[in-house]
Amino acid sequence: MFFDTPAFGFFLVLVVFLYWRLDRKGQNVLLLVASYIFYGWWDIRFLGLIFASTVVDFFCARFVGRSADPKKRRLFLAISVCVNLGFLGYFKYFNFFVDSFAALAHTLGLPEPAIALLQVALPPGISFYTFQELAYIVDVYRKEMEPAESFLDYALFISLFPHLIAGPIQRPSHLLPQVQNERRFDANSFYNGLILIFSGLFRKCVVADTCAIIANKAFAGQLGVPGFASTLLGVYAFAWQIYGDFSGYSDIARGSAQLMGFHFMVNFRQPYLATSLQDFWRRWHISLSTWLRDYLYIPLGGNRKGVAGTYRNLMLTMLIGGLWHGARWTFVVWGGIHGVGLALERMLLRRNADKRAGAMSPAGLWVRRILVFHLVCAAWLFFRAASFAEAFGMIRVMGNLTWQPVHTYALVHLLCFAGPLFAMDLLLEQTQEEFVFEKRHELWRAAYAVGMMCAVTLFAATQINAFIYFQF
């Protein structure tokens, strides 16, 4: 059940209609049932997996929270972590290792395994809810929060349908109390939730799906003669596709949650206006970048292990972050590019780059923004490519500077659809609002929402593209 389908619209309206007619416990029961229906829509067999991991984490956290014995606390923490990472590793990375072994066997002239018999289906959103479960058990172990007393509350915290498939990854201390406490209807929050949904649909259906047409043709070698123009247009188109796609999903998720009195963390803050790679990761997929910082980078030692240790921890964090996105070596390279970039940035600047950015001239600020954007785009090439052969193939042909009419058409198309999103980001950067006209009169917000829906009706791409992050 995708967010941009009539089925989800009907589902959401029905759930919200029933939700506000129940007490807190009834609301939680309804939402848990609805969330399991939502998740089982793809494949009902995966419900057993999420339920099993929920049960394990719930009871392990209770044992960790109630025990005063350090050995027992570590034991139940280890059980929870091993179960979660075991599920994630098997379902997400089994095929990756089998395929890698088959490629190595072929290279060495050894018999190849029967890969067709070993493929494992990937449960939707397993990376997201696994990271949320890991954060919960670690926070309980650190005594930063008490374990949930109600299995219903904890199960809903994990499976609440707006964030279940592609985040944002909710911090236990932020969302669990909202599940445990009464939610009160707030007309203004409800109104803003609707606007977030309309804004998200615009980002996804108009910007992302249209840019996807250009990106798909470029990466398939079908955007005229392959060369500098087709590669650059393909990478630019994908940059705006993935941004519109994921930020649109996050807006719809946050808006849907607000209709029911929940508040999710902001996941994007104009990332393509970043003045450094560090700044980019403060703005892009914020729920993941802060998770990696708090549960991986800092536990590894952060910047407390000297210069060499800091660079090592940066690289490990970004390489694991790349692998989290998908079981493909190109994702690891994508993470590695960001890791090297962050390390070089830290080495060259020796201080927070953003403190200097505030004192720079407008021209200098834009030079940095353009440079960082292109560094990010260079990494996107490997993120989008299905293989190293495809990625390096697009790089090799960049010596061909031929410009064809199809490139002009693609460029105009890209500017027409990515341009409005860029303009929105410039405005939001100035106002520090979560959506355009957030702090203006209701009529302005209504006009914005109507404009978004008209744009979706008139300009949405005719092809159906699943949200990119559903595969992660």
Active site residues: 325
Say which residues have a Cβ less than 8 Å from residue 372's Cβ, sequence separation at least 6.
274, 275, 276, 277, 279, 280
- Residue 440 CA: distances (Å) to CA of 194, 200, 252, 269, 431: 15, 19, 21, 19, 11
**Alpha-carbon span 453 to 197, nearest angstrom:** 10
CA 199/CA 435 separation, integer angstroms? 8
268 to each of 102, 334, 377, 413, how far by Cα in Å?
Answer: 39, 19, 17, 25
Length of the chain: 472
Tell me if 180 sits within 8 A of 428, measured CB to CB: no
CA angle (266, 270, 271) in 5-degree steps:
100
What is the enclosing helix (H) or strand (E) of 18?
helix 6-19
Residues 6+ apart with CB under 8 A from 67: 73, 76
Nearest to 253 by CA among 165, 126, 131: 165
Contact 100, 185 (CB under 8 A): no
How many whole angstroms separate alpha carbon 127 and alpha carbon 239? 22
Q: Which two tokens stand for residue 262?
A: 């929940």
Cβ neighbors of 47 (< 8 A, separation 6 or more) are: 36, 39, 40
Q: How far is CA 190 from CA 249, 257, 262, in A?
A: 18, 9, 10
From 121, 64, 44, 117, select the one nearest 87 (Cα to Cα): 121
The CA distance from 416 to 418, in Å, is 6
- Give the integer Cα–Cα distance in Å for 212 and 340: 28
**Distance, CA of 239 to CA of 255 (rounded, Å):** 24
Q: Which two tokens stand for residue 294?
A: 């708090």
